[in-house]
Structure 1
């Protein structure tokens, strides 16, 4: 197979002339692109959690508007020196503080400030709220549900099959990224209501039929959405704990933001949610280093896959 690929690549190179403007279509370009970005990061000597790279997405973190503007200009110059350019129209910035002045690049072009944006499939808000992320996941789940109505709304299909389809197609879309959410009661109710509506419609029931939620779940063989989210959070928490202490993700877990929290009832943090989850399943952080034991502790099986 490798010989065939090399032969095809060689034939294409003989038949097609690739100009410098089409450099991005060359077979080696992904590797060269990643290598170039890695060299730029080492050149700028950014600390951990200050520059986050994923494929061609670059996230810069700064403590002030002036610092962020300076970092953008440094990156713009470094990219230009290596034959790349920063697409200002696709570049956005978000601030956790009130910031009215725009950020300017090297050419004086303003970078747009937004209140929320989507990064790697997750919605981020300047307020740190997960409301938009929850709404986005609910919409994505309904989209998958509508794509599957040929089975979910077919009375000839068994409810067991419908439940399996929901668990494998619809629910993953609803829970994508939920392991990083610090949910409140209101967001949990939204997710619960969306799931129950999908399950009831798949069964052909409405609220007027007065069928309890527990009975609907038993028929569809589906565990509560709150318990599945807890399982995903603790699974991700275990992955983080097993990382080396100097790994960026461990540094993010142990990071303490400067300043004091407001008086009254401060916003719930992810650590607070994890602490509550650990108490509910009766686990300790040290249990995460034993993968098999940790998996048994945190697992919430659906009724269809429950074992004695």
Structure 2
């Protein structure tokens, strides 16, 4: 694994800043090794707290399913997907997010009576997909990421362009390369039928936005 040199603190202009492995900045968790799984874990934890806080409403028979879904889309999902435009998602991260969404949907739709045994059971994944007529949380995140990628690439901000274009020098650690944010963008574009050069396609704002919305 990559060796991290340990410094107890940093001194700038006679001010000491204590060293920490991760900290919160603008609502997101940043770590010394740029580990996105810490941030995603925090988002999932926050989503579970929202679910717990709204549990009575989501399980109430007095509210329609349409209203309950609206509560999820407008109150819970934004908490989970905050800052998701910058997430380089791995398959394991995607599974965790889908598990959380299914947990919420099972709370909303409730159990179902089995036609064969006559007993009540939780709904299966395919049954939830049939009832939930909206893009999944994963599809929503990928759409947000593509829209942000297009905006960032067309931006006149030199700092943003530098981050996208620069190829930092240095040696990679002797381990499997971590998934990059741009890898996710490139895969999403391919899934929508686009080509290899996503930057060229993103240069046309209207076509890019239309392609993102069609997905």
Q: TM-score range by the shorter chain?
A: 0.7 to 0.9
Q: CA deviation at 1:220?
A: 3.2
| CA distance 1:112–1:262, change in 2 (3 Å) | closer
8 Å Cα contact 2:97/2:137 also seen in 1: yes
Deviations 1:215-240 (A, max 9, x none): 21332333222211110110100101
Larger Rg: 1
In 1, the alpha carbon distance for the partners of 2:73 and 2:91 equals 23
* Structure 2 counterpart of 1:170: 76
* Structure 2 counterpart of 1:223: 135
- Stretches of structure 2 lacking an aligned partner (at least 5 in a row): 113-119
- Whether 2:105 is the aligned partner of 1:199: answer yes
* Structure 1 counterpart of 2:33: 127
SS in 2 for 1:143: helix
Q: CA deviation at 1:259?
A: 1.2
SS in 1 for 2:178: coil
* Structure 1 counterpart of 2:206: 292
| Corresponding residue pairs, total | 203
8 Å Cα contact 1:140/1:174 also seen in 2: yes
In 1, the alpha carbon distance for the partners of 2:78 and 2:11 equals 40
In 2, the alpha carbon distance for the partners of 1:274 and 1:166 equals 26
Equivalent residues in 2 for 1:1-308 (5 A)?
97-107=4-14, 110-205=16-111, 209=121, 211-244=123-156, 247-263=158-174, 265-283=176-194, 284-299=198-213
8 Å Cα contact 2:110/2:123 also seen in 1: no
SS in 1 for 2:34: coil
In 2, the alpha carbon distance for the partners of 1:200 and 1:213 equals 9
8 Å Cα contact 2:30/2:39 also seen in 1: yes
Q: CA deviation at 1:260?
A: 3.0
Q: CA deviation at 1:258?
A: 1.1
Taking CA–CA contacts closer than 8 Å with sequence separation of 6 or more, which of the two structures ends up with the larger relative contact order?
2
8 Å Cα contact 1:163/1:221 also seen in 2: no
Q: CA deviation at 1:174?
A: 0.8
8 Å Cα contact 2:8/2:19 also seen in 1: no
SS in 2 for 1:211: coil
TM-score of the two chains, using structure 2 as the length reference: 0.83
Q: CA deviation at 1:187?
A: 1.3
Q: CA RMSD in A?
A: 2.3
Q: CA deviation at 1:263?
A: 4.9
* Structure 1 counterpart of 2:116: none
| CA distance 1:250–1:197, change in 2 (3 Å) | same
In 1, the alpha carbon distance for the partners of 2:122 and 2:53 equals 28
- Stretches of structure 1 lacking an aligned partner (at least 5 in a row): 1-95, 302-308
